[in-house]
Amino acid sequence: MNVQVNTEMKTAAKANADWWRGGVIYQIYPRSFQDSNGDGIGDLNGITQRLPYISSLGVDAIWISPFFKSPMKDFGYDVSDYRDVDPMFGSMDDFKTMLDAAHAQGLKVMIDLVLSHTSDQHPWFAESRASRESPKSDWYVWADPKSDGTPPNNWLSIFGGSAWQWDSRRLQYYLHNFLTAQPDLNFHCVEVQDALLDVARFWLDLGVDGFRLDTINFYFHDKELRSNPALPMDQRNASIAPMVNPYNHQDHLFSKSQPENIAFLERLRALTDEYEGRACLGEVGDAQRGLEIMGEYTTGDKRMHMCYAFDFLEKRGLSAQYVKFVFDELTSKAGDAWPCWAFSNHDVERHASRWGLSEEATRQHAVLMMCLRGSACLYQGEELGLAEADVPFEKLQDPYGIEFWPEFKGRDGCRTPMVWSAQSEHAGFSAGEPWLPVSPRQAENAVDRMDADPSSMLHHYHRVIAFRKTHTALATGTQTKMTQEGSILTFLREDEDEQVFCAFNLGEETSQVTIPGEGWHMIGQELGGCEGSDSVTLEPAQFCLMAKDKG
**Percent residues over pLDDT 70 in the chain:** 97
Are residue 456 and residue 544 in the same domain, yes or no?
no
Q: What average pLDDT does range 438-454 have in this prediction?
A: 98
What's the average model confidence in pLDDT over 150-178?
Answer: 97
Both 429 and 297 in one domain: the answer is yes
Closest CA to 116 of 291, 284, 275, 267: 284
User: Domains in the chain: how many in total?
Assistant: 2
CATH of residue 335: 3.20.20.80
Taking residues 337-342, report their average pLDDT. Answer: 94
pLDDT of residue 518: 87
Please check whether residue 376 lies inside any domain of the structure.
Answer: yes
Active site residue ranges: 214, 274
The residue segments making up the domain with residue 515 are 478-549
Give which of 172, 207, 208 is closest to 63, Cα–Cα.
Answer: 208
DSSP letter at 438 equals P
Same domain, 269 and 357: yes
Report, as an integer, the average pLDDT of 467-487.
Answer: 97
Q: How many CB atoms lie within 10 A of CB 398?
A: 23
Report if residue 123 sits inside a domain.
no
122 falls within a domain? no
Task: Give pLDDT, residue 340.
Answer: 97
Check whether residue 542 and residue 430 sit in a common domain.
Answer: no
Domain co-membership, 363 together with 490 = no
pLDDT, position 5: 46
Sequence length of the chain is 551
Confidence band, pLDDT 50/70/90 cuts, at residue 238: confident
Report the CATH number that the domain containing residue 517 is assigned in CATH.
2.60.40.1180
Is 258 domain-assigned?
A: yes
4 is a domain residue: no
pTM: 0.96
**Would you state the pLDDT for residue 405?**
93
Shared-domain flag, residues 201 and 304: yes
Amino acid at 289: R
148 in a structural domain: no
Quickly state the pLDDT bin for 514 (edges 50, 70, 90). confident
pLDDT digits (tens, 9 = 90+) for 308-335: 999 999 999 999 999 999 999 999 988 8
Residue 46 lies in a domain: yes
Taking residues 134-162, report their average pLDDT: 97
Residue 9, pLDDT above cutoff 80: no
Over the stretch 266-294, which tens digit does the pLDDT of each residue have? 999 999 999 999 999 999 999 889 999 99
**Does the pLDDT value for residue 3 go beyond 50?**
no
Same domain, 306 and 366: yes
449-452-456-462 Cα dihedral, nearest 10 degrees: 110
Domain end point (choices 446, 468, 490): 468
255 shares its domain with 381: yes
Share of the chain above pLDDT 90, in %: 90
pLDDT per residue over 90-114, tens digit each? 999 999 999 999 999 999 999 999 9
Considering the chain, what is the average pLDDT of its residues? Answer: 95
User: Does 492 lie in the same domain as 462?
Assistant: no
Separation of alpha carbons 221 and 23, rounded Å: 32
Hey, what amino acid is at 90?
G
Residue 157 lies in a domain: no
